[in-house]
Chains A and B, each alone.
Chain A
Amino acid sequence: MAQSKQLAVEMRGVSKFFGAFQALKAIDLTVETGERIVICGPSGSGKSTLIRTINQLETIQSGTITVDGIELTAGGDNVGKVRREVGMVFQQFNLFPHLTVLQNCMLAPLKTGRANKSSAEATARKYLERVKIPEQADKFPAQLSGGQQQRVAIARALCMEPRIMLFDEPTSALDPEMVKEVLDTMIDLAREGMTMLCVTHEMEFARAVADRVIFMEAGAIIEQGAPEEFFGNPRSERLRNFLGQIA
C-alpha cells in the first residue's frame, strides 16, 4: 500500500516551539494523494500550527516535511514551490478588502506569472462558477455575506490550481445558516479528488468525505482512523470525552 500511492504530505518528527512552549511534539503524519483528512481536537491543541507548517506559515525547529516530493526544509526555492502547490482557506476568510472578488481571484495567478490577464480572468470566472457565485465577481468582499466570502476564498485558492488544499476551521466564523453552503462547496471539492487537510469540528462533514479523522491534543496526535471507527469506537478516553463535548 505505502509505495503504490504517491504521498502528498510526509511529516517526520516535526516539532514546533513558540519560545519555550512546544506546540507540536514530534509529529509523524503521512497523507496520500487524494486523501481527505479531518483534524479535530480541543482549542490550543496545535491543529492550526500543524497545517500551517505545511506551507511554512510556521517554521519548524526539528523534523522534516515533504510535500509532493519537495522537501520544505531543504532550502533553495522549495518553500516557494510548495506554496504554489498548496492552497489555504482561513477561518477569517482573509480576502483582500481593497480588491474586487474577481481581482482577489486573479492576483496570485497574475503576479506569480502563472497566467496572463485573459486566462487569469477565465480561470477566476470558472472557479467562481464552481463555488456558485459568478454573479458577485465585481463586488468588493465587504458587500458579501460571510458564507459568500468564504466561497470566494476557496475559489481564490483554487485559481492557483493547487494539488493540496488546507482548511483552518473554515466555518467557525460563520453564522449557522451559512455553514452548509461552505461545507457543500468543500464536499464538492472532495468528491473531485482534491487532497484535503481540514481542521474542523463539523463531524457531519467528516463522516461525509473524510478518509481519516485525526484527533490532536497538546501538540500530539492522540488517535486517528476512518470515520466509522473514529466516531463509532473511539479507543482513548480523551477522544471519548472530546466527542462527548462537541456532540
Chain B
Amino acid sequence: MIRQFGPADILFIIEAVRWTLLLSVIAFVGGAVGGLIVALARSSDSIALRRISAVFIRIFQGTPLLMQLFLFYFGLAVLNLPINPLLAAAVALTFHASAYLGEIWRGSIQAVPTGQLEAATALSLSYRDRMQSVILPQAARIGVAPTVGFLVQLIKGTSLTSIIGFTELTRAGQIVNNATFDPFVVFGLVAVIYFLICWPLSLYARRLEARMRRAFTR
C-alpha cells in the first residue's frame, strides 16, 4: 500500500535527526577520550604501549565500519545481552572514532617541534605538565581541522547503523520510502539534512583554524 509523501513524513524524518545527533555526540565524546589515550600511547616512550595502540588503530582502520557494527551487534547476542541497536552502534562508533582520532592526534602531537618537548623537559616539567601545558595545546591547533573533518565523516558514518536497525535519519528515510515509494524526494530530503548538519561544521573548522593561527602570530 503506497501513500502520498506528506507533512507527517517530513516530521518523522526530522525527528529522527536527534538520534543521528545523539549517536554522533556519544561516538565523538567517547572517541575523544579513547583517541587521546590512543594518541598518547602511540607517542609514548614505551614500546609495548606503542605496539598495542598501533594494532588497535590498524584493526579499526583496516576493516569496514559496517563489519564492526555487525560484530558488536551480534556480539551482544553472543554475550547473552539483550539486542540493543543503540548500544551496539554507540560502542562500535566509539571504537571507530578512537582509532581515527588517535591516529589524527598522534600526527598532531608528533608535528609539534621536538625542541618544545626538550625545552619543557629541561625545565623539569613532569610528563603530565609537558603534555598538558606545552604539547597538547600546540597539537590541538594542528589537529583541529582534521578533527572536525573526521567529525563530519563520523556523522555521515552513523547512517550505516540503519543497517542494524537503529532508527536514525537514514533509517527513518528508508521507512518513509517503503511507505511512499518516493525515493528522490525522501532521500533528497535526508541528504539535505545531512548537508545542513555537516556544512556549518566545516565552516566552523575553518574559522577555528584561522583563529588559532592568529593567536600564534599576533
* Contact B118–A90 (Cβ < 8 Å): yes
B44 within 8 A of A: no
Which one of A81-89, A183-191, A229-237 is at the interface? A81-89
In the assembled complex, A40 has its CB within 8 A of some CB on chain B: no
Name which of A11-19, A62-70, A106-114, A239-247 contacts chain B: A106-114
A96 touches B125 (CB 8 A): no
Q: B216 contacts A160, CB within 8 Å? A: no
- On whether A94 and B121 interact (CB within 8 A), knowing A111-B126, A140-B216, A142-B216, the answer reads no
Any B CB within 8 A of the CB of A55: yes
Q: Which residues of A contact B126 (CB under 8 A)?
A: 111-112
B119 on the interface (CB 8 Å rule)? Answer: yes
Cβ–Cβ < 8 Å partners of B118 in chain A: 57, 90, 94
Cβ-based interface call for A98 (8 A)? yes
Interface centre among B113, B119, B121, B134 (most CB of A within 10 A): B119
Mark contacts of A74-110 with chain B using CB atoms, 8 A cut-off: 1 yes-contact digit, 0 otherwise. Answer: 0000001001101110101011111000000001100
Rounded to whole angstroms, the CA-CA distance of A143 and B116 in the bound complex is: 18
* Residue A151 lies at the interface, judged by CB distance under 8 Å to chain B: no
Q: Would you give the shortest CB distance from B120 to chain A, in whole angstroms? A: 8
Minimum C-beta distance from B141 to chain A (A): 7
A86 lies within 8 A of B216 (CB): no
Q: Scoring B residues 114 to 152 as 1 if CB is less than 8 Å from chain A, else 0, what string do you get?
A: 011011111111100100011001100100000000000
Indicate if the CB atoms of B121 and A98 lie closer than 8 Å: no
A140-B218, A142-B217 as given contacts; A112 in contact with B116, CB under 8 Å: no
Residues of chain B contacted by A112 (CB below 8 angstroms): 123-126, 129
Return the chain A residue nearest B114 by Cβ.
Answer: A94
Whether the pair A83, B121 counts as a contact (CB closer than 8 A) is yes
Quick one: given A90-B115, A111-B133, A142-B218, are A98 and B138 in contact (CB under 8 Å)?
yes
28 A–B contacts from the bound complex (CB under 8 Å): A55-B122, A57-B122, A83-B124, A84-B124, A87-B122, A88-B122, A92-B113, A92-B115, A94-B113, A94-B116, A94-B118, A96-B120, A96-B133, A96-B134, A107-B125, A107-B133, A108-B124, A108-B125, A111-B126, A112-B125, A112-B126, A140-B216, A140-B218, A142-B216, A142-B218, A143-B218, A153-B119, A160-B124
- CB-based closest 4 A-B pairs: A83-B124, A94-B119, A108-B123, A94-B115
Mark B residues whose CB is within 8 Å of A: 113, 115-116, 118-126, 129, 133-134, 137-138, 141, 215-218
| 12 further A-B pairs in the complex, CB-CB below 8 A; given A87-B122, A112-B129 | A57-B122, A80-B124, A88-B122, A96-B116, A96-B119, A96-B120, A112-B123, A112-B125, A140-B216, A143-B218, A157-B122, A160-B124
